């Protein structure tokens, strides 16, 4: 059986994995689902920890870096990015 | 656009504060049915070509054209004059048209390129017909305008808590800071969707251009902190968060709003809920 990767990216309210989800994205390597940007108003999980409890594996967590001198007040990209994966049977049910 | 040419209804101080905080103002059904219809007819007939970038707005559109009359609507003139001044520069315009058979929506993006000015451009989004939920509409992320990102680098953010889709009656106008994150929604309705966008640049300092007759009544000085209030005064408006803000970054958002507010007010001492004053305090 050749499994496919599904990638879930959650952006959290702070650096704790059990903090609330504020933004999210899902990419489905099975091709079974199509998620146009902007179509969902509620996140798939309330927190990053909830995704772990549902079987997603955390493969990357954003590092904590001090702001560069002079840029301490700059706001830019979402800070707390968590990348999860799970491997699924392409013939199985969509997530 | 001389003051005598037509009436102008300028923004109030609190409306300007909301623009600073949220990055846009929304006016539902602002333009009347006749002009909406004639605007669509002009588009279908082939609208006049746009003037060169940098043309003074007063010279950009032919009198009598629907494009010109749209910008002469008193409330539209008032928004432009309140945020940009009496005769800003035309940057560009574009008719964003979808035909109702989209399978994808536009990625979230910020227009143009990295822009580190405190001065800002205004983007008017005009919807000449009603936009239903299944027509996708423009989606935007309130409060995103001060984030320094680069165009579609934010495309990975498929969904953001608190994002808004513009489902609106005909004649609705959005007045947006140039930095506001947005994207066209998927239109699978089978109906054509038209959105006309105009970008304008300021040609004068954007200082106290709105109707400031209500300014004196505002308490702009220091106030007791962490005391509940009605949330509708200027300082409270400037410190209203968004559901997608990170717990820590939201405080930086407030500080960046204060920077923009200072520019608009022409007062480098202005603050909201002491956020800037505290970190600027260096005893001598």
- For the stretch A36-50, pLDDT in tens is 899 899 999 999 999
Is some CB atom of chain A closer than 8 A to the CB atom of B118?
no
User: How close A73 comes to chain B (CA, Å)?
Assistant: 6
Please check whether residues B163 and B36 belong to one and the same domain: yes
Q: Which CATH number belongs to the domain containing residue B100 in this structure?
A: 2.60.120.620
| pLDDT band, very low/low/confident/very high, at A92 (cuts 50, 70, 90) | low
Residue B47 belongs to domain spanning: 13-201
- The complex's ipTM works out to 0.94
Strands (E), chain B: 24-27, 55-56, 89-98, 122-127, 138-140, 159-160, 164-165, 172-177, 182-184, 193-201
Which of B156, B171, B201 terminates a domain? The answer is: B201
Report the residue from A25, A39, A43 with minimal CB separation from B161.
Answer: A43
How far apart CA B239 and CA B20 sit, in angstroms, is 10
User: What pTM was estimated for this model as a whole?
Assistant: 0.95
- pLDDT per residue over B95-128, tens digit each? 999 988 877 889 999 999 999 999 999 999 999 9
Q: Answer whether B148 sits within 8 Å of A22, measured CB to CB.
A: no
Same domain for B90 and B216, yes or no, is no
CB pairs under 8 A between A and B: 88
Is residue B232 situated within a structural domain?
yes
B-chain residue closest to A37, CA distance? B158
Q: Are residues B89 and B150 in the same domain?
A: yes
Residue B45 has pLDDT above 80, yes or no: yes
Q: Do A38 and B247 touch (CB under 8 A)?
A: no
Query: Percentage of residues in chain B with pLDDT exceeding 90?
Result: 87
Domain ranges of chain A: 4-88
Neighbours of B207 (CB within 10 A): 11
The pLDDT mean for chain A works out to 93
- Are B125 and B223 members of one domain? no
- Looking at the structure, do residues B71 and B169 belong to the same domain, yes or no? yes
Phi–psi pair at B254, nearest 5 degrees: -60, -40
B174 plus B268 within the same structural domain:
no
């Amino acid at each position: 059986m050749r499994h496919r990767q599904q990638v879930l990216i959650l952006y959290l309210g702070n650096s704790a994995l059990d903090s609330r989800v504020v933004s999210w994205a899902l990419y489905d390597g099975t091709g079974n689902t199509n998620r146009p940007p902007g179509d969902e108003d509620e996140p798939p999980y309330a927190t990053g920890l909830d995704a772990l409890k549902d079987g997603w594996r955390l493969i990357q967590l954003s590092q904590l870096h001090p702001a560069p001198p002079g840029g301490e007040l700059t706001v830019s990209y979402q800070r707390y990015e968590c990348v999860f994966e799970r491997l699924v049977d392409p013939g199985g049910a969509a997530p | 656009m001389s003051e005598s040419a037509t009436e102008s209804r300028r923004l109030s101080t609190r409306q300007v504060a909301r623009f600073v905080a949220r990055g846009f103002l929304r006016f539902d059904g602002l333009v009347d049915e006749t002009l909406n219809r004639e605007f669509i007819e002009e588009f279908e007939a082939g609208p006049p070509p746009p003037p060169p970038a940098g043309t003074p707005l007063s010279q950009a559109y032919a009198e009598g054209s629907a494009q010109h009359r749209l910008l002469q609507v008193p409330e539209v003139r008032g928004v432009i004059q309140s945020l940009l001044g009496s005769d800003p520069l035309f940057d560009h315009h574009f008719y964003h048209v979808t035909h109702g058979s989209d399978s994808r929506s536009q990625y979230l993006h910020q227009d143009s390129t990295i822009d580190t000015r405190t001065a800002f451009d205004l983007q008017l989004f005009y919807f000449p017909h009603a936009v239903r939920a299944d027509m996708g509409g423009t989606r935007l992320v309130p409060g995103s305008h001060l984030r320094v990102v680069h165009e579609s680098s934010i495309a990975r953010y498929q969904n953001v808590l608190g994002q808004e889709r513009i489902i609106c009656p005909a004649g609705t106008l959005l007045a947006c800071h140039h930095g506001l994150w947005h994207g066209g929604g998927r239109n699978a309705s089978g109906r054509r969707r038209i959105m006309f966008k105009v970008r304008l640049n300021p040609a004068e300092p954007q200082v106290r251009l709105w109707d400031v007759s209500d300014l004196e009544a505002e308490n702009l000085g220091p106030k007791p902190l962490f005391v509940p209030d009605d949330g509708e005064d200027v300082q409270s408006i400037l410190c209203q968060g968004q559901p997608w803000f990170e717990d820590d970054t939201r405080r930086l958002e407030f500080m960046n709003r204060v920077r923009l507010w200072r520019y608009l007010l022409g007062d480098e001492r202005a603050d909201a809920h002491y956020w800037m004053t505290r970190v600027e305090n260096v005893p001598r």
